[in-house]
Amino acid sequence: MHSRSQRSSIAARSAFVGAWKWEPESQRIYADEGMSAFFGVPMQDGLAGLSTLDFRSRIHLDDRARIGPQLVRAADHHLPFSINYRVVTPHQGIRQVRSFGRPLTPRGQTPEYIGAILDMGSGSNDSSPLVEAIDLLISARDQMARADHAILTKLIDAVLMEASRELSRRMDRYLGKD
């Protein structure tokens, strides 16, 4: 658990980059102007939507193989996610980011996700208690699914959905959309 001063320090080191929408089926990502600029994508292209490969090419080579399966698992199971990875930016070099996403569509429909990216600096792995809890819940859910505990998996899914809603509410407050 982080103290108040540690949380303030984490907040000072991280900065909101931008928001995005991901459509796994069409393999398209729509990026706002902040995310487009950070990733070195022309704003009009980001707003119109680009192939996931366009954004993937800007992710550090050593991180690509790791995050792909995490995103596929989230989309297959309609789960929120929180992923750390590095981006090779055109102006700031290699930056550590944290991407948060949650399903926009109800379970049973073609998944679409909305989310945000935070710039964590040049190497910080710190995170908030809510993000740490979501990471642990995702891990617990995966373990219960592998152990074939359907009821516990569904209970963890329910807690993950509520944690995702809270993260979304916090993102909305942060963006002034509340």
Worst-scoring range by mean pLDDT, 15-19, 63-67, 69-73?
A: 15-19
Residue 81: which domain range? 4-174
d(CA 33, CA 93): 19
Which of the two residues, 166 and 94, has the higher pLDDT score?
A: 94
Lookup result for tokens 């074939």: 148
Rg (CA), the chain: 16
Measured over the CA atoms of residue 29, residue 66, residue 131 and residue 156, the dihedral's sign is positive
Worst-scoring range by mean pLDDT, 24-33, 37-46, 131-140, 153-162?
A: 131-140
CATH of the domain at 68: 3.30.450.20
**Which pLDDT belongs to residue 146?**
79
In total, how many domains does the chain have? 1
